[in-house]
Structure 1
């Protein structure tokens, strides 16, 4: 559970840091403290992502981090910054979410119980493939 909390926090920091880049670069003046804040948010996001990697498979954690980040940044860009979304962009956001969900589903442990050693035979018998020695 801690790994997922770290991952969700990493996503929130990454989204905040990325959106702050747009907000701070749009403001008049030279970026200073604003740029340092943005770098700090993005660095903290990577630190938390690395903590999530300890318990969540890399493919899943990175896919969720990237997909959720892109979806949130795109959606918040439309809501907060007034950027326009085209149907293709909405479709891409849906595809990102589906892709991350499929990666997560594909890395779950196999729910089938182990039935013993596999022999490579397609008949399903548990006959050992070791050579028989007669006495």
Structure 2
């Protein structure tokens, strides 16, 4: 499997699991709780596949950065959480950092 595809799957699984964690209400709701466990298991499995081909620092930066941005968007849209100007700037800096790592850094494995 392509390393970037497995990283994308890991990110999506982590975002689903984190969203379900909010919906589980402290693991008091069974179906969201099951989704948390399954989602995180899938996320770590696919992240482990990613690490066969992409350096850990790059993979984790992309995984954490993309996950943070996506969770922030889901928080705003689904859970109606507000993002202020400083939060928006911070998210923009995360996106910029991931882009710099992938487009300009020689550390990234392409």
| TM class by smaller structure | 0.7 to 0.9
Contiguous gaps of at least 5 residues in structure 2: none
Structural mapping, 1:10-89, within 5 Å: 10-25=10-25, 30-89=28-87
Q: Normalization by structure 2: what TM-score?
A: 0.87
Q: CA RMSD in A?
A: 2.0
Conservation of the 8 A alpha-carbon contact between 1:10 and 1:49: yes
Conservation of the 8 A alpha-carbon contact between 2:24 and 2:30: no
Q: Normalization by structure 1: what TM-score?
A: 0.72
In structure 2, the CA distance between the partners of 1:32 and 1:88, relative to structure 1 (3 Å rule), is same
**Structure 1 or 2: larger helix share?**
2
| Greater RCO (CA < 8 Å, at least 6 residues apart) | 2
CA radius of gyration, larger in: 1
Contiguous gaps of at least 5 residues in structure 1: 110-135
Aligned residues: 107
